[in-house]
């Protein structure tokens, strides 16, 4: 199966996917990595690993619709089975999301439905929760609200600051995202009537 990964920054989730493929744990081919910012460090990482990279710079487009149209055209040139948002920090139009319905995943650094949006680790610390984590979900038009595929929880420890908590969560992101993608490419994960359907061996 062919996947396209969309990034905006460092690309550590992208790397965890490439590593899982290299380790033989994920039967997929990353057809391309696409970034919306030229300074996304993950672009260079992907290029160094021999993955085709593309830049669709959102600042070059008049509005979201124009950007999303260019992004869709770039994605579709690679004919992916799955679109993977990995730290892709752009709100997507409903048209764009509909186009990839049931074949676009996102990872969000909180236990959804808690803490949608930005600064999730800071907000978790402010709220005083004792458990935090990350969520892989199908993408739907409402930001961070799509059907949940898998979550991982971590403890919030006394003395945690934002970076400490973020890195504990990130380590789990790197576990659950390749796993969810594996389920999808193995044909065991579907979105059916707006609900997640997962066929796992008993
Ligand atoms: C991750 O925490 C992801 O969940 C969030 O942004 C971060 C991206 O990190 N949306 P990276 O670019 O994958 O290293």
Question: Is 108 in the active site?
Answer: yes
Which residues form ligand 1's pocket by a CB distance below 6 Å?
7, 9-13, 42, 86-87, 107-109, 170, 173
Q: 71 by DSSP, 3-state: which?
A: helix
What beta strand segments (E) does the chain contain?
A: 2-7, 29-35, 53-55, 82-85, 104-108, 131-138, 148-155, 189-192, 195-198
What pLDDT tens digit does each residue of the chain (202 aa) get?
A: 999 999 999 999 999 999 999 999 999 999 999 999 999 999 999 999 999 999 999 999 999 999 999 999 999 999 999 999 999 999 999 999 999 999 999 999 999 999 999 999 999 999 999 999 999 999 999 999 999 999 999 999 999 999 999 999 999 999 999 999 999 999 999 999 999 999 987 7
- 157 is an annotated ligand-binding site residue: no
The whole model's pTM is what? Answer: 0.97
CA of 202 relative to ligand 1 center, distance in Å = 32
Closest C-alpha to ligand 1, atom 5? 87
Residue bearing the CA closest to ligand 1, atom 7: 87
Q: Ligand 1 center to residue 195 CA distance, Å?
A: 25
pLDDT at residue 8, as a whole number: 98
Q: What is the DSSP letter of 40?
A: -
Instruction: Report the greatest alpha carbon distance in the chain.
Output: 51
Computed on alpha carbons and rounded to an integer, the radius of gyration of the chain in Å comes to 16
The predicted structure's pLDDT at residue 200 = 87
Q: Whose CA is nearest to atom 12 of ligand 1?
A: 11
What is the C-alpha end-to-end distance of the chain, expressed in Å? 24
- CA of residue 128 to ligand 1 center, whole Å: 22
Report domain 2-106+138-151+173-198's class.
alpha beta
Residues near 111 by Cβ (< 8 Å), separated by ≥ 6?
131, 132, 133, 134, 135, 151, 153
């Amino acid at each position: 199966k062919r996947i396209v990964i969309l990034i905006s920054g460092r690309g550590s989730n992208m790397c965890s996917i490439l590593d899982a493929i290299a380790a033989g744990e994920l039967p997929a081919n990353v057809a391309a990595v696409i970034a919306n910012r030229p300074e996304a460090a993950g672009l260079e990482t992907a290029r160094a690993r021999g993955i085709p990279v593309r830049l669709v710079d959102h600042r070059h487009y008049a509005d979201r619709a124009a950007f999303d149209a260019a992004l869709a055209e770039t994605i579709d040139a690679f004919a992916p089975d799955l679109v993977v948002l990995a730290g892709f920090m752009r709100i997507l139009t409903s048209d764009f999301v509909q186009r990839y319905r049931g074949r676009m995943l996102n990872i969000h650094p909180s236990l959804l439905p808690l803490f949608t949006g930005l600064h999730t680790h800071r907000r978790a610390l402010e709220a005083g929760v004792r458990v935090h984590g990350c969520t892989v979900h199908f993408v739907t038009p409402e930001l961070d609200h799509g059907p949940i595929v898998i979550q991982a929880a971590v403890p919030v420890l006394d003395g945690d600051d934002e970076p400490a908590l973020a890195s504990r969560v990130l380590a789990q992101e790197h576990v659950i995202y390749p796993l969810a993608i594996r389920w999808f490419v193995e044909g065991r994960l579907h979105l059916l009537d707006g609900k997640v359907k997962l066929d796992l061996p008993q």
